[in-house]
Structure 1
Amino acid sequence: MKITKKQKPFNWHFLMPLMLAASLNPLNSSMIATALPKISESLKISAGTATLLVSILYLVSAVAQPTFGKLAEIFGPRKILIIGSGFAACGGLIGGTIHTFISLLIARIFIGLGTSSGYPSAMLIISRRANHLENKTIPGNVLGNLQIASMATSALGLPLGGVLVGLFDWPSIFYINILIAVIILTTTLAWLPADMKTADFNNSQLLKQLDLPGIGLFAATVITLLVWLFNLPTFNLPIFVIMMFCIVSLIIWERHAKVLFFDVKFLWHHQDVVLTLIRILLLSICVYTIMYGVSQWLEATHASSAEVTGLLLLPMSVVSAITIPPIASRNLVRLPLMVATLASLVGSVGLLFFYAQTPLLFIIIVTTGFGIVLGAMSQGSQLALYLQVPVKIMGTASGLLRTFGYIGSIMSSSLINIGFRSEATTSGLHLIAFLMIIVSLIVAVITIFDQSLKQARKRSKA
């Protein structure tokens, strides 16, 4: 049945559970940072051990996002949102009540699984809804709201975590997941339409539909890739060999499997999707290098306090959120990606002029420019993907978009380790800047010669 505009297909009742679900993962990614010192002290573990609570969420999310996207395509995104909220609530309960390091790791795994259902399910629900509109309008503003919600909660995660830890101690950052999960569950049941009827599967058919070997090989590929990246700049040959074996095995399996988890043939014939994924990976390297690398340099070399450093990077988050609405309202694709690429290149060159005596105003201007990169690349890539893939695989594709963003953020830590081998020096920052310039130039070549972006622009205006 077609939906008319008069029926307000994307009203706030419809959007609220989707925005909350899509925001819970980035919220948990940032919120825990302020709790790590208290957790280390309470459990009597080292700071390095405590950071595993951060890494495990990235690792689980990188694998789970496309996996839950695939599950949403098979069973229905509304069901997966409900299941995901249950996982998140369980993680919050375990982490809040059982105070051992192992229990916290398990809690973060549950939270990573639960929160990974949000974004791919939301994208699938929105694309199916838009596909039933009479004129099949591209919901640019709706997609933009998803990005703004994710960025806002990621930025608010640090201060929110600080307030919760200050008032209620560190278990509160786990308990808050129960509250949010209950709100997501309630609003999903009350306001989201039931999933389209799917075929009934018996147990053997269910296993075939899930493509468990494909999911397993994809998980092994991502895990070994991330472990290998964590070890850089040290080249871990055994992990690299295992990673390449997993990649080759995944490609061979998916080329011949009857039911696909990771559609290699689709990607082979749609290089535009591959370029979109590579682009967001490369730009994410530059953005997160600024977030994590420049902050280290400011404290170590520029003699800025942690509080000042946080305030210096705050305009970056604000600008990224401001950048999205004008892009979303006009359904722009190629222009924001070109702007993101140019801003990344200019900002990377700007890092070469960072010295211990550099005025803070200049540092703020350069770092704030990467807010444009973050906002423009996020919304531009999201809309490009929306236009490039069919509705039936929107869940898996959206999950992959998030996965490539995670990989980019982890690769940024490798880039930072190359520059700051022993300490955060100005010469090391300049080496990082040169590497970022190279990455930005690669993105520029990809974007300029990506003819599919011109076609996407025509489709967005149709």
Structure 2
Amino acid sequence: MNVRNRWLLISVGLGVLLNPLNSSMIAVAIPGLQNVFQLDFTVVSWIIFSFYIASAIAQPVMGKASDLFGRRKIFLAGLVVSFVASLLAPLSPNFGWLIVFRIVQSIGTSMMVAVGMAIVRIHITEKQATALSVMSIFLSGAAAIGPFIGGVLIHWWHWPAIFFVNIPFVAASFLLAWRTIPKEEPSTAVARNMSFRRWFGLIDAPGILLFTVGLVALLVGLLSAKSTGHVSLTNLIVGLIGLVLLAAFVRHELKAASPFIPLRTFAKYPAMTWVNVEFMLVNVLFYSLFFGIPSYLQMVRHVSEFETGILMLSLGLCSLVTSPMAGRWIDKSGPRPGLLVSAILMTFGSVWIVTLNQNTPVISVCLALAAFGISNGLNNVGMQAALFESSPKEIIGVASGLFNTSRYLGTILSSLLTGIVMGGTFSFRGFQMLGIILTVIALSLIFMSRRRRESGQLAEW
């Protein structure tokens, strides 16, 4: 790989890591934000919801936009948007404005993730597999060490630091990307002549609107009812509106020529559908603990942000170390054994959470974190291999997009589950109840993995 390609890889990597880094750093900031803005746990949870909902929408939309306007332009624009959001978010006068800037940040970082891999694939032809593996390290490594970095920053400079820390990454990435990413010749004529109506049809604007408003309304109805402790008529109406809009979204997607989420593909390929269902459950389980454990450590056990970040590092390091070993194992044995071991480890970690009490040494939480870290490393490789095994080659691009959608739905559902279980206050009793629910989910994953192993076919569960 020549020097220019190495610098191109670094410039893209510094940009794409911002999305997973910012999605994971916030895990350690939840208790601090709750105290600063004097809000209950369910309201503060919107700092997580907003980021993942915006990412789930922005990434596929920006992927389509890059075909028209050019990947270089989308990448550089994403850096500018991320810079503005990171600069203004710490200056938010209230929590509402913080959510707005958090959404803007999610859109900006998603712009880079949507085109980053494509830029590497197109412009780095020498040792491309190595280049793509380095990109994966940027993505997975940033997510893994995010809580540690967040804990250190918040301990020394409080919560605004987790936004300001993005600025040097953005500046370095922009300067390098401006010099190293080659200029493209996108379909500029098509882009100039395309009407708003045609553009909205291409990105399925009605589907996006139905999905977003329906999901947000349902979340508001459910979380408001849990936070207040009773179901009011307003909560019920808002929740029902959300369900109706989501039902309308499903009907629309089945008829749309260019659907936001191609639901017809799920119906046509049931084996691939089940892989996505399992991947969604995996993410529900993983992210419930990923965001739940830092709050438990800080709000129940009164551990500092710095110590919480160090403890969470055991999850990230176990995940990073496991992934390459999992790749070699899965290449030889296929995805089924690794996914079964992963499900067993997640069950162990969930049961361990249930057995904790308020006098259990805090360091013992590392056992659960290590179990989830190893399982996450196995899942990162195993679920992707299972997807390729179950998806016809001619739709692998669509399948990969659906796979990422399943990831985001899992993260959104994990935040919803945590918010419903905890209500307005994060408590030890609620944390144990969360552990019980996650144990049930983990056991269901074992059942799925065993059925896959017994049948030898992903379609027969």
Residue 102 to residue 66, structure 1, CA distance change in 2 (3 Å): same
Unmatched runs of 5 consecutive residues or more in structure 2: none
Matches of 1:363 and 1:117, distance apart in 2 = 36
Aligned to 1:411: 416
Matched, 1:206 2:206: no
Is the CA contact (8 Å cut-off) linking 2:60 and 2:401 kept in structure 1? yes
Deviation at 1:382, TM superposition (A): 4.3
Q: For the residues of structure 2 that align with 1:146 and 1:273, how far apart are their CA atoms?
A: 27
Q: In 2, distance between residues paired with 1:328 and 1:10?
A: 29
* Alignment size in residue pairs: 439
Residue of structure 2 aligned with 1:56, choices 33, 50, 60: 50
Query: Pairwise CA RMSD of aligned residues?
Result: 4.2
Q: Which residue of 2 aligns with 1:271?
A: 270
- Of 354, 367, 376 in structure 2, the residue corresponding to residue 365 of structure 1 is 367
Deviates more, 1:377-386 or 1:114-123: 377-386
Contact 1:31 1:173 in 2 (8 A): yes
Q: Which of the residues 121, 145, 155 maps onto 2:137?
A: 145
Quick check: 2:214–2:242 contact (8 Å CA) kept in 1? Answer: yes
Q: In the TM superposition, what whole-angstrom CA distance separates every residue of 1:354-405 from its partner, at most 9, and x where no partner exists?
A: 2344455544323321111222223433455567474654774464144224
Contact 1:280 1:404 in 2 (8 A): no
Alpha-carbon offset, residue 410 of structure 1: 0.9
The alignment status of 1:17 with 2:8, answered yes or no, reads no
Give the match for residue 150 of structure 2.
158
CA distance in 2: counterparts of 1:244 and 1:412, whole angstroms: 17
The answer to whether residue 62 in structure 2 is matched with residue 68 in structure 1 is yes
1:338 paired to 2:340:
yes
Report Cα offsets for 1:211-243 as digits up to 9, x if no partner: 221222232343234435534757754344223
What letter is aligned with 1:276? V
* Contact 1:69/1:399 (<8 A) preserved: no
Indicate the larger mover: 10-19 or 297-306.
297-306
* Residues 403-424 of structure 1: CA deviation (Å, up to 9, x unaligned): 2242243134146428x97831
Gaps in structure 1 of 5+ consecutive residues: 1-6, 457-462
Residue among 423, 427, 431 paired with 1:423: 427
Contact 2:283–2:407, Cα closer than 8 Å, also in 1: no
Is the CA contact (8 Å cut-off) linking 1:272 and 1:450 kept in structure 2? no
Q: Contact between 1:349 and 1:433, CA under 8 Å: does it hold in 2? A: yes
2:250 pairs with 1:261: no
**8 Å Cα contact 1:285/1:409 also seen in 2:** yes
Which letter does structure 2 place at the counterpart of 1:288?
Answer: Y
Larger deviation, residues 137-146 vs 437-446: 137-146
Deviations along 1:294-353, whole A, 9 cap, x unmatched?
A: 455556666766655554433122212211222346665444433221211122233343
1:118-129 aligned within 5 A: 118-125=112-119
Tell me how far apart the structure 1 counterparts of residues 174 and 456 of structure 2 sit (CA, whole Å): 40
| In structure 2, distance between residues paired with 1:50 and 1:355 | 25
Code of the residue aligned with 1:341 in structure 2: it is: A
One-letter amino acid matched to 1:203 = M
Quote how far apart the aligned CAs of 1:181 are. Answer: 2.3
User: 1:21, 1:118 within 8 Å by CA — same for their partners in 2?
Assistant: yes
Alpha-carbon shift at residue 39 of structure 1 (Å): 7.3
Distance change >3 Å, CA 455–CA 16, structure 1 → 2: farther
CA separation of 1:173 and 1:348: change in aligned 2, threshold 3 A: closer
CA distance in 2, matches of 1:272, 1:133: 35
- Secondary structure of 1:355's match? coil
Instruction: Tell me which residue corresponds to 1:440.
Output: 442
State the match for 2:243 in structure 1: 244
2:83 is the counterpart of 1:89: yes
Deviation at 1:111, TM superposition (A): 0.9
Q: 1:303 to 1:274 in 2, by over 3 A?
A: same
Matched, 1:216 2:215: no
Structure 1 residue 439 displacement after superposition: 0.6
In structure 2, what is the Cα distance between the partners aligned to 1:415 and 1:60?
Answer: 21
**Deviation digits for residues 108-157 of structure 1 (CA, Å, limit 9, x no counterpart):** 22212101223332344456679x899x9798734642443332452343
CA contact (8 A) 1:327 1:336 kept: yes
Amino acid at match of 1:270: Y
* Residue type at the aligned position of 2:442: S
CA distance in 1, matches of 2:2, 2:456: 30
